[in-house]
Amino acid sequence: MSPTLRRLHPVVLLAGLAALVLAAGATAQPAATSIALSLDASQAAQRILHVHSEIPVAPGPLTLLYPKWIPGEHGPTGPIANFVDLHLSANGKELAWERDPVEMYALHLTIPPGVTRLSTQADFLYPGEGGNFTSGPGATDFLAVISWNSVALYPQGPSAEVIRVTPTLRLPAGWSFATALVKEGEEGGAVRFAPVSLTTLIDSPVLTGTHLVDLDLGEHDGARHHLSIAADRAADLAEAGSLSAPMTRLVEEALALFGARHYNSYHWLLTLSDHVEHFGLEHHESSDDRTDEETLVQEASKRSLPGLLAHEFVHSWNGKHRRPAGLLSPDYLKPMQGALLWVYEGLTEHLGNVLPVRAGFWTPEYYREEIASLAAGLDTETGREWRPLADTAVAAQILYGAPGDGRARRRSTDFYDESIFLWLDVDTLLRERSRGQVTLDDFCRRFYGGANSGPTLVPYTRDDVVKALNALVPFDWQGVLAEHVDRIQPRLPMQGVERAGWRLVYNDRPNQAIADNESRRKNHDWRFSLGFVVGKEDTIGDVLPDSPAGRAGMVSGEKLLGVDGHVYSDRAVEGALAAAKSGKEPIEIIAADGDAIRTYRLDYHGGPRYPHLERIEGKPDVLAEILKGRGK
């Protein structure tokens, strides 16, 4: 079922109407646009998609658009550079077109008299490397993720919700597929899907491959739920069945949290490959989840998976059903504004960590290790002294593509992780001021719940969030949010964690969440002792300015060669930390920076140092209450 717009903020509605009026004045178009789109993915293994479309037109000037601002990617990320071999024709004759010199996602042409249909032909080239989200690698010899925004051309003027598309898809021989789109039949070996709006098409990726399994998680609240998994090797799917029971519980916990669903069915599309871009991208009735090839057979990776799947599922409510007004782009050309990403992504990140515990994927102990690792990392950022959390949201499109070095001074997309501590503050304040009668779960039901429905879109503003909180418990919620979001915070605000009965501490016991991340990423995290991270090929990642490494002059990008007279290894660093703790000599590190060999002396004697959460004596364990399951 296509999304329906239930309510628009007046300013957004007027702006949208004005944009449509301006666009309509520049483009001659029929009253209704119904595009036939044929996608040939038979060469997906060669990283090529062939697309043909038929677009109804009227004589006169016409502007075609290629999607630029992709929902969930929070930036002008449409992969137009890989949209190639474009040919436009009418009545068998090729038509000349011209790219707009300023808005390069717009193509201008003139439709000759008597022409009613425009034919488009083009290819999309999956990149082999580089690019974020759907601009990154998405196909291998054995699988592919098809994102319809990468192959769509459509007339400027009507909103994407008004444009109707009838899609067909041809797959490589022997490949199966999974998608939220409804299959209507087959024509000449191609799958024909039911007509949908352009909005729904772009919101409905297809996962396809040689090795693909589908786990039917059953019907819940009148909607079926599926976890479909494709992998480069059949052996990587051997443990897929073990996910059925906990994923079913995850569905039950999410429905208990929100009190209603806003989809007709839901499909997780999980890709296991080391040769595609890794991320999660939300859609209303599905999610595009891509991660390590051995995720289901490697324990550290398997423990990370529930957070990804829960996060993207929560987005069906927070981000798709309800979306910040600034993130609406009716034609995928209007720029999005990320000021409320601390709600859109931040609350989702918080709930995406809570739900795996409620569903039984994680233990409360593992959750606390994860939260401690995030808190410690955020607290090391010297960028906190000049950049508020709000600016990490507004500048999201810049920060997503920023390099790793300098991250501590720059800050990154902190609206994800830091907002966990904001929403823990909100939850514990709700509980405290209502004497345990009101919780963040009540806010979620009020703000995102209602009655079961198909896909709907209800925009919101910051004032709407504050009003919903005040309707539950009157308080200075505007002030609470301003403290976390708008003001400079040199140290991470931890009052929510402490109100929940816990505090951040450091000792020499390894943190399990950090150890899992090290195992997955093949790196080693020495930030909380020496002040740097070591990545693949023994290369130094970010160096914390206010740390032993930073004060000694170490820089990102150097290759570690030796530690205290030994060839560099994790074990050599551990030995050096132990020796320095019981002695007075600094730790000597030898590194190569280009052609230069450098020797550093780190005056550190604190030994190994890892973050954990520790109970505050005399305070109730509110965190345990937050993590308790609510489902059936």
Q: What tens digit of pLDDT does each residue of 164-193 get?
A: 999 999 999 999 999 999 999 998 899 999
Q: What is the DSSP letter of 539?
A: B
63/59 Cα distance (integer angstroms)? 12
* Nearest 10 degrees: Cα torsion 494, 497, 501, 506: -70
The whole-number pLDDT of residue 558 equals 96
For 575-604, give one letter per residue: b (16+ CB within 10 A) or e: ebbeebeeeeebbebbbeeeeeeeebebeb
Q: Is the pLDDT of residue 30 over 60?
A: no
Q: Work out the pLDDT band at 55, boundaries 50, 70, 90.
A: very high
Residues in the chain: 632
Q: Is the pLDDT of residue 258 over 60?
A: yes
150/569 Cα distance (integer angstroms)? 43
49's enclosing H/E stretch is strand 48-56
Q: Is the pLDDT of residue 6 over 70?
A: no
Name the one residue in this structure whose structure tokens are 């490494």.
549
39/137 Cα distance (integer angstroms)? 18
**pLDDT tens sequence across 267-296:** 999 999 999 999 999 999 999 999 999 999
Domains of the chain: 4-297 (2.60.40.3650), 327-502 (1.10.390.10), 529-608 (2.30.42.10)
Q: Residue 15 contacts by C-beta under 8 Å, 6 or more apart in sequence?
A: none
- The mean pLDDT of the chain is 94
Mean pLDDT of all residues in 246-251? 98
Nearest Cα neighbor of 22 from 156, 123, 178 is 156
Ordered alpha helix ranges (H), 359-461: 364-379, 389-394, 396-399, 407-410, 418-433, 440-448
Q: Work out the pLDDT band at 2, boundaries 50, 70, 90.
A: very low
Q: Which of 5-9, 144-148, 473-477, 615-619 has the lowest mean pLDDT?
A: 5-9
Mean pLDDT of all residues in 4-32? 38
The terminus-to-terminus CA distance of the chain in angstroms comes to 28
Q: Phi/psi at 514 (nearest 5 deg)? A: -65, -40
Q: What is the gyration radius of the CA atoms in the chain, in angstroms?
A: 26
* Nearest 10 degrees: Cα torsion 313, 132, 302, 270: 50
Residue 70 neighbours by CB distance under 10 Å: 23
Q: Residue 114 contacts by C-beta under 8 Å, 6 or more apart in sequence?
A: 59, 91
One-letter amino acid at 499 equals R
Mean pLDDT of all residues in 337-348? 98
The whole-number pLDDT of residue 428 equals 98
**pLDDT tens sequence across 563-617:** 999 999 999 999 999 999 999 999 999 999 999 999 999 999 999 999 999 999 9
Nearest Cα neighbor of 448 from 282, 618, 217, 254 is 254
Q: Phi/psi at 257 (nearest 5 deg)? A: -65, -50
Nearest Cα neighbor of 197 from 318, 82, 284 is 284
The whole-number pLDDT of residue 131 equals 87
DSSP string of 184-252, one letter each residue: EEEETTEEEEPPEEHHHHHT--EEEESEEEEEEEEEETTEEEEEEEEESSGGGGTTGGGGHHHHHHHHH
Token reading at 109 = 């042409």
* Nearest 10 degrees: Cα torsion 545, 511, 626, 355: 100
**Cβ pair 600, 560 in contact under 8 A:** no
**pLDDT tens sequence across 185-239:** 998 899 999 999 999 999 999 999 999 999 999 999 999 999 999 999 999 999 9
Q: Is the pLDDT of residue 20 over 70?
A: no
Q: Work out the pLDDT band at 10, boundaries 50, 70, 90.
A: very low
579/310 Cα distance (integer angstroms)? 43
